[in-house]
């Protein structure tokens, strides 16, 4: 019998062969890897009061000297599909302390509303337009206004519908711009930096043709070509991620013997290099980690790194599949990018995407998603160490949420990938992490037997598909707001709950560039629209 449900953590030895149905509907399961934790100190009042007092001291210190320096550098970290649940689960994965996910320690936090013009739950394409250009648009489109419906062959060509990204504002101000992603560099999120298209899938000319829109100079230009030919893409100083296949023809093989996806016979990598050499610039194309390590980052003006035919591997798989010497991690790419961009006296804008947090969620493989989030947090930590908060604004956010929840009253310190401590009303166990929909459905229900017994589920397998209520080939995004974490100049402006489109506006204001430069605001005579109540307004010192 398991009457002593509140035994000291770590001493749970109640094996659940008998169900105390009268008291609880559920059986008590033995939690995996219970850590004895800081249970003792957490039992005292002092611990919590001391903790809160030190937070207050930090707040007082912060509000006495708001950072209103001009941001020389801006780094936008985008955890694709990194919902608040994902961050919390990653914290538990990293050790269940309140200070494990690096950017949770940033001084200012806000919430971003991610809906698009036509969908309450958006995708990574229209949201990239929002958080990079400051304009909400239609699902599936990139770098164009909502006048362009997804897939419209005509509307997206009209450059009056094209939006400008913060990378352009930065370039116009003499800053360098770059992007780093674990997805193909032509995938939806990074494409928001430089591309304009009615369909996120038009990464190559062949995709435009197969969708019925003719590709050509006067027609729709594929995303990879835009990256190499159009002004913003062409001027990017750093482009790192996956996606070699979109740079070469389907008849050709890349460095690893994998065929390309283009049908126009072009080698965009060669064209990219030729363009830089023509300008007399020092440029490097690399396709593996060795290549990257051999680049002299202090002497290189343009760097293109394509480390995979399609997306880069999941972070956890780098080690499991012995790829750590072949493919650079997100942190390693980030480090190289910052080092190169640092060579510009006027500063830089860098976009860094942890792209596969989202893809793992789509397959309800929570374990992989959380490993990728942990690596994303490491990349943020590294960037913060390499830069100075006096002149560098770092913003960490996500494009949209996912449907994963943390549920079932898991015991503190128990394995986040494990089972909830009690069985459900059907006497079967269930996992702490589960999804509203997705391919995990087949692991959850059997057509003949109903809900499956997960007692022997291999929850140590990083490819394990977590439970899902509704059958779907690919789990959907979620519609809840996502977090925004900021550090550096004007980081305090990032608190509150606001449109996702405010993010580039606030970043540009801090850097004094684009339509949100102080001069641009003054020229339009932009004034406050709200009177905030409260006598004790914080007056900001206006220093440059
Ligand atoms: C838009 O395209 C037209 C025709 O190609 C060109 O003349 C014009 O300069 C472009 N405008 C912008 C803002 O790029
Ligand atoms: C494409 O161009 C790059 C850079 O010149 C070269 O390294 C690569 O081998 C070329 N790929 C193919 C398939 O021709
Ligand atoms: C804010 O308050 C001032 C002074 O009371 C008033 O003149 C102004 O019209 C108000 N602005 C708005 C937007 O309500
Ligand atoms: Zn997605």
Write down the mean pLDDT value for the chain. Answer: 91
What is the CB < 6 Å shell around ligand 3? Answer: 529, 531
| Domain match, 57 and 74 both | no
Q: Name 329's Cβ contacts closer than 8 Å, sequence gap at least 6.
A: 315, 318, 375, 379
543 occurs within a structural domain: no
Residue 538 banded pLDDT, cuts 50, 70, 90? low
| DSSP class of 117 | S
Between CA 350 and CA 166 the distance in angstroms is 10
pLDDT reported for residue 95: 87
Q: Give the number of whichever ligand sits closest to the CA of residue 476.
A: 4
- Cα torsion 535, 537, 541, 544 to 10°: value is -150
Which of 255, 263, 266, 267 maximizes ligand 2 atoms within 8 Å of its Cβ, making it the mutation to test the pocket?
A: 267
pLDDT reported for residue 526: 86
pLDDT, mean of residues 262-291: 98
pLDDT reported for residue 214: 75
| DSSP class of 220 | B
pLDDT reported for residue 5: 39
pLDDT, mean of residues 66-75: 98
Ligand 2: atom nearest CA of 254 is 13
Nearest residue to 158 via CA among 168, 139, 145: 145
| Domain match, 376 and 495 both | yes
| Domain match, 15 and 126 both | no
Computed on alpha carbons and rounded to an integer, the radius of gyration of the chain in Å comes to 25
Q: Is 472 left (phi over 0), alpha (psi -120 to 50) or beta?
A: beta
539 occurs within a structural domain: no
179: which strand partners? Answer: 239, 351
Q: How many beta carbons lie within 10 A of that of residue 529, not counting itself?
A: 5
133 occurs within a structural domain: yes
The pair of three-digit structure tokens given for residue 181, joined into one six-digit string: 């992603």
Give exposure, 175-198, as e/b (b: 16+ Cβ within 10 Å).
bbbbbbbbbbbbbbbbbbbbbbbb
Active site residues: 124
| Domain match, 16 and 153 both | no
Indicate the pTM of the whole model.
0.91
| Ligand 4 center from residue 338 Cα (angstroms) | 27
Residue 73 banded pLDDT, cuts 50, 70, 90? very high
pLDDT at residue 374 greater than cutoff 60:
yes
- Percent of the chain scored above 70 by pLDDT? 89
| Domain match, 128 and 165 both | yes
Long-range contact pairs involving 533-539 (C-beta distance under 8 Å, separation at least 24) = 538/63, 538/66
| Domain match, 355 and 442 both | no
The separation between CA 340 and the C-alpha centre of its own chain, rounded to angstroms, equals: 22
Q: Name 492's Cβ contacts closer than 8 Å, sequence gap at least 6.
A: 62, 66, 67, 107, 108, 486
Residue whose entry in the numeric block shows the structure tokens 């790419």: 333
Residue 80 banded pLDDT, cuts 50, 70, 90? very high
303 occurs within a structural domain: no
| Ligand 2 center from residue 271 Cα (angstroms) | 9
pLDDT at residue 537 greater than cutoff 90:
no
* Per-residue model confidence as pLDDT tens digits over 13-25: 333 334 344 444 4
| Ligand 1 center from residue 118 Cα (angstroms) | 27
Q: How many beta carbons lie within 10 A of that of residue 331, not counting itself?
A: 19
- Percent of the chain scored above 90 by pLDDT? 84
Q: Name 186's Cβ contacts closer than 8 Å, sequence gap at least 6.
A: 195, 203, 204, 223, 224, 227, 243, 246
The pair of three-digit structure tokens given for residue 80, joined into one six-digit string: 């694709």
| Domain match, 10 and 111 both | no
Domain span at residue 78 reads: 66-242+311-403+482-522
pLDDT, mean of residues 360-388: 98
Specify burial of residue 299 (Cβ count, 10 A radius: 0-12, 13-18, 19+). exposed
Helix (H) or strand (E) segment spanning residue 177: strand 176-184
Ligand 3: atom nearest CA of 531 is 1
pLDDT, mean of residues 416-444: 97
34 occurs within a structural domain: yes
105 occurs within a structural domain: yes
Residue 254 banded pLDDT, cuts 50, 70, 90? very high
* Per-residue model confidence as pLDDT tens digits over 35-66: 555 678 889 999 999 999 999 999 999 888 89
Listing DSSP states for 276-302 in one string gives HHHTT--EEEE-SHHHHHTS-TTT-SE
**Structurally, how many domains does the chain consist of?**
2
Between CA 271 and CA 329 the distance in angstroms is 26
Residue whose entry in the numeric block shows the structure tokens 């994963």: 404
128 occurs within a structural domain: yes
| Ligand 1 center from residue 158 Cα (angstroms) | 8
Q: Give the number of whichever ligand sits closest to the CA of residue 221.
A: 1
Residue whose entry in the numeric block shows the structure tokens 């980081």: 491
Q: Give the number of whichever ligand sits closest to the CA of residue 533.
A: 3
Between CA 353 and CA 186 the distance in angstroms is 12
Between CA 287 and CA 151 the distance in angstroms is 32
pLDDT reported for residue 529: 81
| Domain match, 121 and 156 both | yes
pLDDT, mean of residues 317-345: 98
Q: In the listed set 432, 450, 471, which residue is the last one of a domain according to the structure?
A: 471
Residue 219 banded pLDDT, cuts 50, 70, 90? confident
CATH of the domain at 397: 3.40.720.10
250 occurs within a structural domain: no
**Phi, psi dihedrals of residue 69, rounded to the nearest 5°:** -70, 160
| Domain match, 75 and 40 both | no
| Ligand 4 center from residue 478 Cα (angstroms) | 10
Specify burial of residue 330 (Cβ count, 10 A radius: 0-12, 13-18, 19+). buried
pLDDT, mean of residues 141-165: 96
pLDDT reported for residue 373: 98
Between CA 269 and CA 246 the distance in angstroms is 10
For 446, the 3-state DSSP assignment is: strand
pLDDT at residue 216 greater than cutoff 90:
no
| Domain match, 197 and 336 both | yes
pLDDT at residue 371 greater than cutoff 50:
yes
Between CA 430 and CA 331 the distance in angstroms is 34
What is the CB < 6 Å shell around ligand 2? Answer: 248, 252, 267, 269-270, 273, 285
The pair of three-digit structure tokens given for residue 453, joined into one six-digit string: 């017994």
Q: In the listed set 452, 471, 490, which residue is the last one of a domain according to the structure?
A: 471
* Per-residue model confidence as pLDDT tens digits over 378-409: 999 999 999 999 999 999 999 999 999 999 99
Which of 525, 528, 531, 537 maximizes ligand 3 atoms within 8 Å of its Cβ, making it the mutation to test the pocket?
A: 531
| Domain match, 168 and 58 both | no
How many helices (H) and strands (E) in the chain? 18, 17
pLDDT reported for residue 331: 98
Ligand 3: atom nearest CA of 528 is 13
pLDDT reported for residue 276: 98
pLDDT, mean of residues 224-251: 98
Ligand 3: atom nearest CA of 530 is 13
Nearest residue to 241 via CA among 354, 317, 144, 324: 354
The pair of three-digit structure tokens given for residue 376, joined into one six-digit string: 């994303």
Q: Name 382's Cβ contacts closer than 8 Å, sequence gap at least 6.
A: 331, 334, 335
| Ligand 1 center from residue 275 Cα (angstroms) | 22
Between CA 491 and CA 465 the distance in angstroms is 38
| Domain match, 133 and 235 both | yes
Residue 11 banded pLDDT, cuts 50, 70, 90? very low
Residues 140 and 199 sit within 8 Å (Cβ to Cβ):
yes
pLDDT, mean of residues 473-491: 98
Nearest residue by C-alpha to atom 8 in ligand 3:
531
Residues 141 and 163 sit within 8 Å (Cβ to Cβ):
no
Nearest residue by C-alpha to atom 5 in ligand 2:
270
178: which strand partners? Answer: 238, 350
């Amino acid at each position: 019998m398991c009457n002593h449900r509140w035994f000291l953590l770590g001493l749970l030895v109640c094996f659940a062969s008998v169900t105390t149905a009268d008291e609880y509907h559920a059986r008590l399961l033995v939690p995996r890897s219970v850590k004895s934790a800081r249970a003792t100190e957490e039992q005292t009042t002092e611990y919590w009061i001391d903790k809160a007092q030190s937070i207050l001291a930090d707040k007082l210190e912060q509000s006495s000297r708001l950072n209103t320096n001009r941001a020389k550098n801006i780094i936008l970290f985008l955890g694709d599909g990194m919902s608040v649940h994902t961050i919390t689960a990653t914290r538990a994965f990293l050790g269940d302390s309140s200070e494990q996910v690096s950017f949770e320690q940033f001084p200012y936090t806000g919430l971003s509303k991610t809906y698009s013009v036509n969908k309450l739950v958006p995708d990574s394409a229209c949201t990239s337009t929002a958080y990079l250009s400051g304009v909400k648009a239609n699902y599936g489109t990139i770098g164009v206004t909502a006048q362009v419906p997804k897939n419209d062959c005509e509307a997206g060509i009209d450059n009056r519908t094209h939006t400008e990204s913060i990378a352009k504002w930065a370039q116009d101000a003499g800053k360098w711009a770059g992007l780093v992603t674990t997805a193909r560099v032509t995938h939806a999120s990074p494409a928001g930096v430089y591309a304009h298209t009615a369909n996120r899938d038009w990464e190559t000319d062949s995709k435009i043709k197969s969708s019925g829109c003719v590709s050509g100079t006067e027609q729709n230009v594929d995303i990879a070509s835009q990256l190499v030919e159009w002004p913003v893409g062409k001027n990017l100083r750093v482009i790192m991620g996956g996606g070699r296949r979109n740079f070469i023809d389907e008849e050709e093989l890349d460095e690893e013997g994998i065929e390309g996806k283009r049908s126009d016979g072009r080698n965009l990598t060669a064209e990219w290099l030729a363009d830089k050499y023509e300008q007399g610039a020092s440029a490097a194309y690399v396709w593996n980690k060795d290549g990257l390590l051999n680049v002299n980052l202090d002497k290189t003006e343009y760097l293109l790194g394509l480390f995979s035919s399609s997306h880069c591997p999941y972070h956890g798989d780098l080690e499991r599949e012995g790829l750590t010497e072949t493919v650079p991690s997100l942190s390693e790419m980030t480090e190289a990018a910052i080092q190169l961009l640092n060579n510009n006296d006027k500063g830089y804008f860098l976009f860094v995407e942890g792209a596969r947090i989202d893809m793992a969620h789509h397959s309800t493989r929570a374990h992989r998603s959380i490993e990728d989030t942990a690596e994303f947090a490491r990349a943020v930590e590294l960037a913060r160490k390499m830069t100075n908060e006096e002149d560098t604004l770092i913003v960490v956010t996500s494009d949209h949420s996912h449907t994963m929840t943390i549920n079932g009253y898991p015991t503190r310190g128990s394995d986040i990938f494990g089972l909830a401590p009690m069985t459900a009303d059907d006497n079967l166990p269930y996992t702490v992490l589960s999804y509203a929909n997705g391919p995990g459905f087949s692991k959850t229900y059997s057509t003949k037997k109903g809900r499956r017994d997960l007692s022997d589920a291999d929850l140590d397998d990083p490819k394990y598909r977590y439970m899902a209520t509704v059958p779907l080939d690919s789990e959907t995004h979620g519609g809840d707001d996502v977090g925004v974490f900021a550090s550096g100049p004007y980081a305090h402006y990032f608190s509150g709950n606001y449109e996702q489109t405010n993010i580039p506006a606030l970043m540009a204001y801090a850097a004094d560039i684009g339509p949100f430069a102080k001069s641009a605001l003054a020229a339009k005579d932009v004034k406050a629209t709200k009177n905030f109540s409260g006598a004790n307004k914080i007056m900001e010192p206006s220093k440059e």
